[in-house]
Structure 1
Amino acid sequence: MKKLQYHILILLLLCICTVGHSQGTDQRNRVASTIIADGLAQLPANNVETFNQVMEEMAQTGADGIKSLVGLFGPTSKGANASYEYAVNGVVDYVTRPDKANLRAGVKEGLVQALRSSKDQVLQAFLITQIQKLATAADVAVFEAYLNDGYLQPFAMSALATTPGIDQYLIGWLPKSDLPKQTLAHLITTRQLVSPTLEPMLLSWIPGADSQTLNEIYKALVINGSTKAAKVLGKQAKSVGYQYEPTHVADAYMQLLTRLASNDSKWVGKAAKQLVKQQRPAIRCAALELLLKTSGSKATSEVLKALKDKDVQYRNTALAMAEESAGNGIFKAVYNQIDRLSVPAQIDVVRWLGNNRQQNFVEIVLKKMMSSNDELSNASIHAASQIGGPQALQGLMALLGGQKAGQALLALKSFKGSIQAEALKSLGNSNASVQAQALKLIAERRMYQAYDEVLRLTASQNAVVKTAAYEALGSISDYQHFEPLCEMLERADAATAPHLQKAALYALHLQSSADQFAAIQKRLAKTTRPQLYYPMLAQAGNQQAIRRLVVEFHFQKPSMADEAFNSLLKIDNESVIDVLEQIASTTATRKDQALKRALTLTKRSSLNGMERYLLYRRALEMNPSVSVVNSYLSALGSIHELPALTLAAQYLDKKENAYQAATVVKTIIAKNKALQGGETIKTWLNKAKDIFSAKTEDADAGYAIDEIKGLLGKWQSDGFMHEVVDGKCKGKASVGSGDTFENVDLYVDWRTKGKGMLYLRSMPEVVLDGTTGARFVHAADNKLVAVEQNAKPGEWNTLHVRLVNDRLLIESNGRVVAENVIIKNTPSRLPIKTVGQIFFMGGEEEMQIRDLMIHKLPSTPVFTLSKEEKEEGYEVLFDGRSLDKWEGNLINYVPVDGNIYVSAKYGAGGNLYSKKKYSDFIYRFEFSFVKPGVNNGIGIRTKHGVDAAYDGMEIQVLDHDDPIYKGLHDYQQHGAVYGIIVPKHVKFGPLGTWNVEEIRAIGDRITVTVNGEVILDGNIREACQGHNVAPDGGKVNPYTVDKKNHPGLFNKDGYISFCGHGEGVKFRNVRILDLSKNKKTSKSRTRRR
């Protein structure tokens, strides 16, 4: 008996183990429903890698997981399933990849099961479209089941139309189907089903059919019909005059004839002869194609006959089909008849010969070039260029001296084949007109080999030829010609110098900027006319070329300075912007011109918005003309940041610029919500409104006023204030705001030749270095990589700083220098200050600041212990401002508005751990779900870097009533000791509701209280009968609720952690009572329970 009992016990344990395995867990011990829920929480994914990982995990869950995913759909009439549709579609598309074929069967089976169990037609339709992507011949029955459903039938038919390997099955099924004939015919066409049995069936459906059904039947007959069907369609097409009508029978008839032409050519040819007599051009041309295809040896005579037709479309149809139907001999046949054709037909033939590159018949083309009919002559000239060859080339070259020189030159530019020899020969022609045209041709076709001959003609006595030769040099010169060209340039007169400059430029243009400059530099070293080389320096355009032009500008006589300046204006390199602004600041007569070019280069440069702002501001400070100021203000409107707004506002009181400034002010404020508050900016916006109001005749001004009124209607009371307009500091002197601040957003411009410091809350936090820019004082501690900021000693920089709680953002010259870094006091052993002043201190060199704009952000709510908790000895672990009592993932856990917010923005990952270890304790906090389906947890008595649910304990924090958790195991719901003790189910309020929780851990007893109700109170050792791991050492533990091993369950102590699985939950008022300090207290508290 004992032996029998023993065997029964073993069998029971094996059954339990089997159940555990059947749940299908992944490497992280997650069951299918959990994998699906975790995946949904990460969608839409932030990147492709995350998306693929989620899709892989979901697909791996197989039929059970996919069915559970579809089970999350609510009634489609409520339209709340977009996220689930996105997930299902993503998984299906993912497994259609060639390398994921092994996952398709499971995914498809889950979809099929879900389809069959669903009663929601819209959802069923969606599922059919997904199954369709994965369907094989074995899935026909799945779709057939829905063919008699009026709503689902189109979806099922669409699936049958694309499922591979079922053609023969469908051919046999069609005659027996009682579905509408229109639907069945459409399936035949869509599927391209072909069988002799289908034609009689389709023909039998015609009598009594409506126009829509006939249209589908006719299309199906196109691919299945014989001459029998063609006779029926032909009769019907004739009855409607071969015109367009709802059944499209004429088109179907022509398509069927085209298909039959290869096998029933005699019958189709006879039909085509009748059709070419019709009036409708499209029918005539289509019929002619059929006639030519089926005429055999008579095709030539049919082509020649067609060429006598008055319809140009008909003639060209014949020519297009000529070679295919009549063979190569058709060209000679047409050639022999060309003179008997009308002029329009001759034009068609000439173009046809050209398009077909018929060199054997080039003589007739050359003959027709001499026609008195311009259209025929021009068509022949073009055809000759297409045909190519020596005869055509000679004929075209011969035209260069006559009335058709322009058309001949155009044809020769695109001539098929080499023309160099003939072009060079033409240079020796005694006719100057021929020489001039030949030079143009040589230039157009870049005939580098003609350089020497062209150079010879620069000495021609004929002015036209001489000019054409000089112009041609600019298109055929090469690097080897640079030096000789420069020698000529040095001796050139005013008429030829520009041409030689162009030639020298072209000789260099394929060389690198450095090589170009090196060649130019050699010439500059020995020339007495450096201005000749300024355009070449502009083309080189590198830093060396810019510097040389600057030298030439400053140290040459005025006329040469003008040329140097003009060349600087032509440089297409943003490096010249500084040079142009420098010239503008020192030379009043060139100010506007320099600044206009600088603006053009700046707008299309790679510079960011703040870098452009600094350049625009520097330019505007030079007081250029009204039009230039307005151009810069207009450009400023594309920078939707506070510094640009502050600058534009300075022009609201300047009459000539006020309207443009008002437009920019309105635009920037409208585009940046952060600027829609506070009295300073409101004043600027009201000024802009007044300016627009004065433009009563301007409709755009009226629209602007309406937009401003809309902005003012939702204006916020707090915003940026102008704290300091201008200030200076050096040594121990400081400049800043006299107010004190906690959380703050600020913008400021600064400059120094040395180093200064920005103090936030009266603590040094940002170094301001005139050489390298701004940097976080504690950059090294945070392992921050240095960021290039385009800073220069003594030049203005713009700085944006945002400090909230203990987190700091620094942007310098539009570039992020530090983000989400944690501030420190100096020395670091001192706690960080919660409030203090904002000020700047200079160093040995003076530091200037301007336009310090500060937005005093709301203070952070601070949590303090109640009197009772103070007396009991509780310790605050998070007061709302700082995570200084925590370690680990301080990147994704961020203090926001007095709460710990779990964010995915910064992407570091990992858990947050208390700095201290705890054994027995009472842990209290509040939490709020701000996104649906949030999954977090409180790890207790855990180690760093492990899964607290198994190597410690995890008390679930889960929005467990969200639809994505349908089918969730009870040991996974909120408040559970994960996998060990099941809690009472908690019903949470709507998103954003704050909930109060307490976790008591005293020895082996864990108690969880939520919103005043005890939802879990149990002994972990008793819950698993002392077996936190399987006695046999296996992976399946029959003693735990989740059938998993929990090796860390009985840890004596450990860290408290927040175990995040995604963003969207907030925590606040976190405090703890460490009971391990006083065991007596611990026991008494246990007894009171």
Structure 2
Amino acid sequence: MKKIILSFILAGALFAPAIAQTDQQRTTPTRIADLLAKTPADDSAQLIYNAKEVAALGTDGLVEMVKQLNQGGDKSRLHYAISGFSFYATQEGREEWRSMATTGYGKSLSQLTDPVDQQFIITQLEMVGKNDAIPYLQGLLRNDRLVDAVSRSLAIIGSPEALQTIHSAMGAAAGASRLAHVKALGYAAYQPAAPAIRQLLSSNPTDSVLQKAGYYALAAIGDPASESLLAAAARKEGFRFTNNGATAAYLQWLGKQPEGNTTTKKLSGLLVSLQQPEQLATRIAVLELLTKKYPAGAQQVLLNALKDKNIAYRQAALRFAKPGITAANSSAWLKSFPSLAPAAKAELVNALADKGIASAASPALQLLQSKDAAIRSSVMNAAVKLAPNKALPVLGKLLQTADATEANAIRNALLLADGKAAVETATSAMATASPAGKAAIISILGERAVSAQVPTVLPLLNNESAELKEAAATALPKMVVEDQLPQLFPLLAAKATGNELARRQDIVTSALKGIADPNQQASQLLAAYRSAGAEQQSNYYRVMAAIGTPSLLEELSGGFDKASPTAQQAMIQAMANWKEGAALETLFNLSKKELSPALMNAVIGSFTRQLSNSKVADESKYSMIRELMPKATSVPMQAGLLRALGNIPTYPSLYYTAEFLDNASLKNAAASSVMNIALANNQLKGERVHALLEKSMGTISGDESEYLKAAVRKHMATLPKEDDIVKPFVLPETEKQEGFKVLFDGSNLDEWIGNKTAYVVEDGKLAVYPKKGGDGNLFTKDQYSDFIYRFEFRLTPGANNGVGIRAPLEGDAAYEGMEVQILDNDAEIYRNLQPYQYHGSVYGVMTAKKGHLKPIGEWNEEEISLIGNKIKVTLNGTVILEGDLEEASASGTLDHRDHPGLKRKAGHIGFLGHGDILYFRNIRIKDLSVKEDPSSKKKKKKKKK
């Protein structure tokens, strides 16, 4: 099968797929199959190329492609191809494509059997159609299954003619069809339909579904004549938002009305009437509508809303008002301040502060003095924003009596202020602050990194108040600096344990990291460590791991033998967290010592944690893990090591891990790691690798395993089974004696000409990578007439190629010469092939037998014998095609096309790419062409004169 070469520039890059020459003679099913093989597109360049391929099919070809939806199965490739074409058909300058798409989709609608497929095509018509789509859609307006999609599509097309089509159909419609028409006409706000919709609602008062759709349609249309009907329906619902949508529709209708006193009065009157608690949502909606439609005249309404007792209504009013509040009109808002309730005052002040209204500072400070803590807290941020110099002293004083809630509000407000002023306020209040106030002050000092206050905060680590201890422990790592280390190291000498010790270690670590030079960090830490008592030294281990220099690791490991078992355990735990995995080899060396089972397990656990961050070479990691494995006495430890092997993608790691596939306790971990190793390195291949992967997939279980299995199956489809070491192909002795010649031995393309960009030598194979570029096909440099041609090939899913024989270098080899198919003809995308397109067929001329290809990923052996007009194709030992080319085409070819190449007596042999990845190897030929022996020529005698 052939592909069209299409060169184009997209995003500044040239896209030129390495595929065969243009062939407009291909059958439509062939061209469709080839197109579907390239979907979904990998990139935008392929996407536009695919769209052009669809366009080249023409209207009838597009209909044929759409009709393939009838065949069931996986339709995703068809969906990608069709929707991609629809997208490009709507782009500027593509009117011809758009018209073709409309006609093609329209004609195919009546030929589809599944309503779901019809709906999909209707959505495509919705994208590409104009008035030219109406004839194809209007006949479906009474189809209950499709009417909703059809009506919606016509409404989206939106031309007067399309909308009139829906309107005309609505009159005689009923049930689902009528409902769909009403919705569509409402969506399009089609004014002429309003009287008919009102009549429908009046005639069908008990049809609640129709009533709801009708209300919304009339609201969207906004016809003044619909007011009485919609108002009455909303009134019947008590102007509440209910399931029938009457109230919402009435408000929408009001929003559609032109600005003016009449509408304003209606909205204002409605707002006044809505006083019941259950009408709150409607009242807020009316207020918003009034504000949006009449922002200038709504200010007084919003001001009045601030006096409302309902907090949700007041806050909504401020939310609607805020966009329109300015310094120029703020006086009206401030004027209302005295008459408001305290909560409403606070809400107003916050709204004004958010708008930066400086004149709101005085009311904010007034509320900051409120006796109500909730009111005070609610305006603290506003007061600090508007009048920090006056607000901060007040906040400092409030810290004396603040509970936890108010103290947290003060903290947040002070953090909004200038750093220096906030710190001064906080530190000045420290002595007299309440416990909650002190905790808030400490938090501020931490957030502002006030190192000068460390002496004040540090003692609080020993305070009896859990609140203050926690505040100090959280703040100090942000406050300490390196100069304070002499005062901080004693923290590690205290008798703290667990989380309390960890917090102290974090404080010391933070101060050490303030030193720029890591060696200086280590030097200071080592001095303190060595001067500490033996019982306190273990408190330093975690800090040493965080600093993580080699000298600290050496110090720790050097003292391991003399340490107590408890200290040894702590050392090992610290090494687990050592910076950048640098303790890996140290832990491995510890494993060589005579350790108790508990310590050995600790070493292995810490070693496993260090593996992922260690920069040690994979080969060394593998060797260490293998040596450690027998020392791991528990299944969790062994499983952890096996999982670590899964991150070392080498042959030794793979093979060793696989030894545990038969271990009942470890087989799941081993199987997972075997698969991860193989997936991480596509150079791991061969029969043994395939076998191990198959065994692993049969072993692993669990919910997550299916994802891993799917990835492995996909990987195996492209994984060769031959051994990793590839030697150049050498002719078997029998073939040497028969006169065969090697054309490709896996090392070079010296015997070939043409596209050596997409056709490349790789691991002893001739690999075809179309996206590498190049132009055209790959041909033998010599020409052949009669021959026996042998080769091996390995397909990828859906792959398509061909062997050109007696072919010229120019033109379409399948017609100017002949083409023997190479094709994964069992792929779903090729289910509509003609028999003469099967693998091994002489394209368009003779049909090969199916069923003799090996599974995808395995190598196939093929022989093509061509002597005169006699051709025979043998696949994997089975003759799949044999016959006489002249006899086969005597009454015309199978594809009813002209094949002038059938008359050629000699030509090149070539691989004819169609944009798919596949592989060839061990290519050789026996040349049977009759060549005249020069020595047999008789010399012409000169005539005697």
Give the TM bin, normalised by the shorter chain: 0.5 to 0.7
Unaligned runs of 5+ in 2: 1-18, 679-686, 706-715, 855-859, 874-878, 934-945
Give the SS at the match of 2:586.
helix
Q: Deviations over 1:841-879 (max 9, x none)?
A: xxxxxxxxxxxxxxxxxxxxxxx89xxxx9xx8556799
Distance 1:141 1:417 in 2: 69
Q: Deviations over 1:136-175 (max 9, x none)?
A: 5665555456546665544443333333xx5555566665
Alignment partner, residue 517 of structure 1: 518
Amino acid at match of 1:328: S
Give the SS at the match of 1:232.
helix
User: Which residue, out of 113, 116, 122, partners 2:107?
Assistant: 116
Give the SS at the match of 1:937.
strand
Judge conservation of contact 1:976–1:1016 (CA < 8 Å) in 2.
no
Distance 1:507 1:357 in 2: 40
Ranked by relative contact order (alpha carbons within 8 Å, sequence separation 6 or more), the top structure is 2
Alignment partner, residue 446 of structure 2: 444
1:336 Cα deviation after fit: 1.0
Q: Which has the higher helix share?
A: 2
Give the SS at the match of 1:279.
helix
1:347 Cα deviation after fit: 7.5
Alignment partner, residue 822 of structure 1: 726
Judge conservation of contact 1:941–1:953 (CA < 8 Å) in 2.
yes
Distance 1:954 1:226 in 2: 69
Give the SS at the match of 2:202.
coil
Alignment partner, residue 96 of structure 2: 105
User: Which residue, out of 448, 473, 478, partners 1:475?
Assistant: 478
Alignment partner, residue 92 of structure 1: 85
1:234 Cα deviation after fit: 1.7
Give the SS at the match of 1:31.
coil
Distance 2:563 2:88 in 1: 74
Q: What is the TM-score when the length of structure 1 is the normalising length?
A: 0.60
Judge conservation of contact 2:778–2:912 (CA < 8 Å) in 1.
yes
Alignment partner, residue 717 of structure 1: none
Amino acid at match of 1:221: L
Alignment partner, residue 1059 of structure 1: 912
Amino acid at match of 2:218: L
Judge conservation of contact 1:486–1:504 (CA < 8 Å) in 2.
yes
Alignment partner, residue 41 of structure 1: 34
Judge conservation of contact 2:51–2:81 (CA < 8 Å) in 1.
no
1:954 Cα deviation after fit: 4.5
1:556-567 → structure 2 map (5 Å cutoff): 558=563, 567=574
Give the SS at the match of 1:247.
coil
Alignment partner, residue 656 of structure 2: 643
Judge conservation of contact 1:368–1:376 (CA < 8 Å) in 2.
yes
Judge conservation of contact 2:353–2:382 (CA < 8 Å) in 1.
yes
- Provide closer, same or farther for how the CA distance between residues 356 and 394 of structure 1 changes in structure 2, counting only shifts above 3 A: farther
Distance 2:635 2:779 in 1: 62
Judge conservation of contact 2:788–2:864 (CA < 8 Å) in 1.
yes
Distance 1:104 1:607 in 2: 62
Distance 1:677 1:28 in 2: 41
Alignment partner, residue 742 of structure 1: none
- Provide closer, same or farther for how the CA distance between residues 224 and 1072 of structure 1 changes in structure 2, counting only shifts above 3 A: closer
Distance 1:1057 1:555 in 2: 73
- Provide closer, same or farther for how the CA distance between residues 606 and 138 of structure 1 changes in structure 2, counting only shifts above 3 A: farther
Give the SS at the match of 1:272.
helix
Worse-superposed segment, 136-145 or 601-610: 601-610
Alignment partner, residue 206 of structure 1: 201
User: Which residue, out of 534, 550, 553, partners 2:554?
Assistant: 550
1:575-654 → structure 2 map (5 Å cutoff): 575-586=582-593, 588=595, 590-602=599-611, 616-623=625-632, 628-629=637-638, 632=641, 643-647=656-660
Judge conservation of contact 1:62–1:103 (CA < 8 Å) in 2.
no
Distance 2:839 2:704 in 1: 49
RMSD: 6.3
Alignment partner, residue 21 of structure 2: 28
1:562 Cα deviation after fit: 8.6
Q: Deviations over 1:376-428 (max 9, x none)?
A: 55545566567673333322221222243663244323543325224225434
- Provide closer, same or farther for how the CA distance between residues 536 and 953 of structure 1 changes in structure 2, counting only shifts above 3 A: same
- Provide closer, same or farther for how the CA distance between residues 292 and 131 of structure 1 changes in structure 2, counting only shifts above 3 A: closer
Alignment partner, residue 1014 of structure 1: 883
1:309-708 → structure 2 map (5 Å cutoff): 309=309, 311-321=310-320, 328-329=330-331, 331-338=333-340, 341=341, 360-361=359-360, 375-376=374-375, 378-380=377-379, 389-404=388-403, 407-413=406-412, 415-428=415-428, 431=431, 433=433, 436-437=438-439, 439-447=441-449, 450-452=450-452, 474-477=477-480, 481-482=481-482, 484-486=483-485, 494=493, 505-506=509-510, 509=513, 515-520=516-521, 523=524, 529=530, 538-541=545-548, 545-554=549-558, 558=563, 567-586=574-593, 588=595, 590-602=599-611, 616-623=625-632, 628-629=637-638, 632=641, 643-647=656-660, 660-661=665-666, 664=669
1:182 Cα deviation after fit: 3.2
Alignment partner, residue 15 of structure 2: none
Distance 2:881 2:298 in 1: 101
Distance 1:510 1:47 in 2: 54
1:1079 Cα deviation after fit: 6.3
Q: Deviations over 1:555-593 (max 9, x none)?
A: 697499998766544334234333333334337375444
Give the SS at the match of 1:420.
helix
Give aligned-pair identity as a percent: 19
Unaligned runs of 5+ in 1: 1-25, 653-659, 689-702, 709-744, 746-801, 810-820, 834-863, 1024-1039, 1081-1089
Distance 2:427 2:747 in 1: 87
Distance 1:405 1:246 in 2: 45
1:207 Cα deviation after fit: 1.5
Indicate whether 1:1000 and 2:915 are aligned. no
Indicate whether 1:1075 and 2:944 are aligned. no
Distance 1:1063 1:167 in 2: 44
1:89 Cα deviation after fit: 2.4
Amino acid at match of 1:207: S
- Provide closer, same or farther for how the CA distance between residues 261 and 308 of structure 1 changes in structure 2, counting only shifts above 3 A: farther
- Provide closer, same or farther for how the CA distance between residues 167 and 394 of structure 1 changes in structure 2, counting only shifts above 3 A: farther
- Provide closer, same or farther for how the CA distance between residues 34 and 291 of structure 1 changes in structure 2, counting only shifts above 3 A: closer
Distance 2:788 2:383 in 1: 98
Alignment partner, residue 10 of structure 2: none
Alignment partner, residue 186 of structure 2: 189
Distance 1:585 1:469 in 2: 43
Judge conservation of contact 2:349–2:379 (CA < 8 Å) in 1.
yes
Amino acid at match of 1:268: L
Distance 1:973 1:676 in 2: 29
Q: Deviations over 1:312-343 (max 9, x none)?
A: 434443444455799635643553134xx4x8
Distance 1:430 1:928 in 2: 80
Give the SS at the match of 1:520.
helix
Distance 1:885 1:666 in 2: 40
Q: What is the TM-score when the length of structure 2 is the normalising length?
A: 0.68
Give the SS at the match of 1:621.
helix
Alignment partner, residue 254 of structure 1: 251
1:364 Cα deviation after fit: 5.6
Q: Deviations over 1:754-807 (max 9, x none)?
A: xxxxxxxxxxxxxxxxxxxxxxxxxxxxxxxxxxxxxxxxxxxxxxxx995xx4
Alignment partner, residue 939 of structure 1: 805
Distance 2:808 2:135 in 1: 54
Distance 1:203 1:606 in 2: 77
Indicate whether 1:62 and 2:55 are aligned. yes
Alignment partner, residue 128 of structure 2: 134
Q: Deviations over 1:973-1017 (max 9, x none)?
A: 999988xxx73x537445749999864344xx6767885753512
Judge conservation of contact 1:886–1:912 (CA < 8 Å) in 2.
no
Amino acid at match of 1:233: L
1:517 Cα deviation after fit: 1.3
Alignment partner, residue 723 of structure 2: 808
Distance 1:681 1:410 in 2: 63
- Provide closer, same or farther for how the CA distance between residues 75 and 891 of structure 1 changes in structure 2, counting only shifts above 3 A: closer
Distance 2:833 2:72 in 1: 24
Alignment partner, residue 276 of structure 1: 275
Worse-superposed segment, 526-535 or 459-468: 459-468
Worse-superposed segment, 553-562 or 176-185: 553-562
- Provide closer, same or farther for how the CA distance between residues 635 and 367 of structure 1 changes in structure 2, counting only shifts above 3 A: farther
